[in-house]
Structure formats: C-alpha cells, structure tokens
Structure 1
Amino acid sequence: MIKMQQVSKIYPNGVTALREVNLTINQGEFVYIVGPSGAGKSTFMKMMYREERPTSGSFLFKGIEVGKLKNRQIPELRRQIGVIFQDFKLLPSLTVYENVAFALEVVGEDKSQIRKKVLEVLDLVKLKHKERNYPDELSGGEQQRISIARAIVNRPSLVIADEPTGNLDPDTAWEIMEVFEEIYRRGTTVVMATHNRDIVNKMRHRVLAIDGGKIVRDEEKGMYGYEV
C-alpha cells in the first residue's frame, strides 16, 4: 500500500526532517510511529496525505507517486485516507450528525446514502444517541470518537492518527484504542503516531521508531522503547 524509497525532506530553513527513509506498509497493517519530539514523525505522517511532499526519493500510495500529484488530484487521494488529529477539529456550529455527514457531502455522496453511512459509523463509535448534540456538549473522549467517525465514514483504506489519545485521560484513551482496534479488525490500515508507551506495550502491533529523521527500529509486535 505504502512504499517509500530513499525519501528525504528538507525544509526551506535548512532543517532536515527525514533522511533517506525506506519503508513498506502493507494493506491491513496496524503501525505505531514512535520517537522523541522533533524526530520527524509529524513530517512522516503529513507526507502520507500530501500535506508535505518529499524533497527527494519516491513515495508511493497504491502505486501512485504522491509527491508528483497535481493540486487538483489531491482531493481524490484524500478520499482514500481518513485523518484523525489530537485536537479533534470538529466544526462547533454543526451537530454530531452534521459533522460526520459533512465529510460525505463535500465529495458529492448521494443523499440517500449519507444517513445510512453516518448512522453506521456513529453506531460503531457508540454515539448514535448523541447525533443531535453539538461538540461543546460532548466530553473530550466523545469528541474524539466523532472525529474518528468522520474520518472513516468514507470507508478509507488507510487511517492516519496523529496522537489521537494525547488530550485524553488514561481510561478514555483505552476506550478510543478499542475503536481503532475494531477499525483495524475490519481490514483498514492504521498508522498511528503516539507517545503513549502503555498503549504500545499492551496493544502490540508493528512499531516504527523514528529518530533524527531516520527509521532506527522496525519491529513486529514491538515495544515502545523510550522513556516518557
């Protein structure tokens, strides 16, 4: 699904975020991205949904050279990818239902299908009963569940999560991880950047450690491996 060959990223200010990264991620994998702050994790994640492009090297998503996509082609790429952020990024003036439905409306989904798909994912994240609530009426964990629902309502083949439990208490973080496990069990590829050692060590999946812009460790069912 994802193949990186000799990928480097150098920003205009001279900072090298990634250095000659070689990597393959297959369809249906669950991959943790770990490493110290400033190691290059965010750049790595942003490259997957073309927020950033490589300075050099080849980055393929399903055989498509992502770095060479024209701007008009990027929306089509992103329809295949669900992105979940630490700070939820919900639209405060829209209800739970409307926040999730919006992701379908912008891609021109048929109205008859929107309600069906929205209620399906709200059921998956166990918030169907909150469809008429607004984001400020929800807890942090509930808001993150809605952001997950919005990210997967298009049924993407890849879900990218950047510190999805970073703003949540430990109990809520575990609940959120159960949602990700269910998404993974349904065959979706999950790539998650996290500093949560306990989650990585208990919910064992492939671990990629990035340090100094390089992948310094790649382990199946790996451990976190850093002091926090």
Structure 2
Amino acid sequence: MSLIKLNDVWKVYPNNVKALNGMTVQIEKGEFVYVVGPSGAGKSTFIRLIYREEKATKGDIFVNNINLSTLKHKEIPKLRRNIGVVFQDFKLLPSLTVHENIAFALEVIEEHPSDIKKRVNEVLNLVKLKSKAKFLPSELSGGEQQRVAIARAIANRPDVLIADEPTGNLDPETAWTIMDLLESIHSLGTTVIMATHNKEIVNTLKRRVIAIENGRIVRDEARGNYGYEV
C-alpha cells in the first residue's frame, strides 16, 4: 500500500493560477524522492498539499490511507504528527534554546516530560548538536540551525520527512552535511521527500526523481538526474 497517493489532483489559486494540473503519483513507504523542476513549476504546492497546508481544488490525496480531500480541519494536527517538515528558512522559535525548540514539537502533542527529555537527547545526538542544547538559534550557524530544524521535524518519529529546499540557504560544504543527515534518517526507515534546485546533490546521490513542469509530472525515474540548468 502506498504511503502517499495523489489521484488526478488539481490546485487552482483564487487568482486563477493553476499550480497543479491533474497530478497522479504514488510514493511508497521507505522511499527517498527528489522533487525537481524550474521555479514556479508547482513543487512547493505539491509538498504543501501533502501536509494539508493547502487543500486540493479537485482530486484525491491519501497519506497513510487518510483522504486529505475530506479531512476535517480539526483532524489536521493528528495527520501532521506523522509528517515532519523542514523549510529552507528553518522556522525556529528565536526565543527558545535548541533543546526547547525540539521539545516544543513534543509538548504540543502532550508527550510525558520524561519521554520528551529522552527523545530530545536522542535526536540531538543524531544531528550532532548535544553540546549546543542550551544555545539560542541566533548563536548557531545556518547549517546548525537547519540540523536543529531537522531534529525537531523527526522528534515525533514521523513516517515521512518533507524537506522543502533544505540546502537552499547553505554553502556547498554545509549542504552536504545536511544531505548526510537526511541519508542517515532515511536509512532508519523514514520516507524522505525533498524539493530541491541543487543539481549536484541530485546527480551525485542517485534517488528517485519526480520532475514537475507547469503543474504536471513530466518525468519520474527510479535513479534519475536533475535534468535542468541552474
């Protein structure tokens, strides 16, 4: 059974811009998938639909057999417990420490304090930032902030990790450290979906590539390349 399934999905914004035009695709549990394409192709819309930041205009989207098209608004938080999301601009809470930022993701779902402390330490070890647990985001480098964002996203052991341009604001060397981390998370069984413009990463770390143009999938290759000039 597919972890994520889109069936003839359309997304039309109020200004009549068609972001997705009848998209049909399936992503299996345990896959690592790159989503590529030129700016404005529909990559971010595709990703936002999966965690119900946006709602499809037409068509069905299933995540873990849950139909997002009929999902009630009050049920969205429960859906997102199984979806970790990482953004290009980190979205850390500036007044909270590294430890507190990660813990917050578990506090909102009312995990027991002792379980929160244990899990935060586990993910801090995974992202190699335990020594900076008491630092504020402003005291960290961009790469370190992104590692905190990833730690927060996987704190609840989600089935799928969605990364929207996670290396976009980072220098090449730091970008590779983030990719190493995403590969490690994937090796633990997490499905990873990564939207990216980084040609070198896609062409070096060969994974499934879904290419989107004008809101349509124009290429879907098991071990593809980036295929666009950047």
TM range (shorter): over 0.9
1:134 matched residue in structure 2: 136
1:158 pairs, out of 150, 157, 160, with: 160
Q: Give secondary structure in 1 for the equivalent of 2:35.
A: strand
| 5+ residue gaps, structure 2 | none
Determine the structure 1 residue equivalent to 2:227.
225
Please tell me the residue identity of whatever aligns with 1:94. Answer: L
One-letter amino acid of the counterpart of residue 216, structure 1? V
> Which residue pairs with 1:16 in the alignment?
18
Query: Does the 8 Å CA contact 2:59/2:69 hold for their aligned counterparts?
Result: no
Kindly state the Cα deviation for residue 221 of structure 1 after the two structures are TM-superposed.
1.1
Separation (CA, whole Å) in 2 of partners of 1:68 and 1:37: 30
Please say if 1:88 is aligned against 2:107: no
Question: Which residue identity is paired with 1:207?
Answer: V
Could you say what secondary structure the match of 1:107 adopts? coil
- 1:116 matched to which residue of 2? 118
- Tell me what 2:182 maps to: 180
CA RMSD of aligned residues (A): 0.5
The 2-side partners of 1:67 and 1:171 are apart by 40
Amino acid at match of 2:115: Q
* Structure 1: gaps (5+ residues): none
Matches within 5 A, 1:40-79: 40-79=42-81
Tell me whether 1:4 sits opposite 2:25 in the alignment: no
The Cα offsets for residues 7-32 of structure 1, whole Å up to 9 and x where unpaired, read as 11111110000011110000000000
Aligned equivalent of 1:106, options 88, 105, 108:
108
**Per-residue deviation, residues 48-100 of structure 1 (Å, max 9, x unmatched):** 00011111111111111112111110000000000000000011111100000
Letter in 1 for 2:161: V
Q: TM-score, normalised by structure 1?
A: 0.99
C-alpha separation in 1, matches of 2:168 and 2:137: 18
Cα distance in 1 for partners of 2:77, 2:69 equals 14
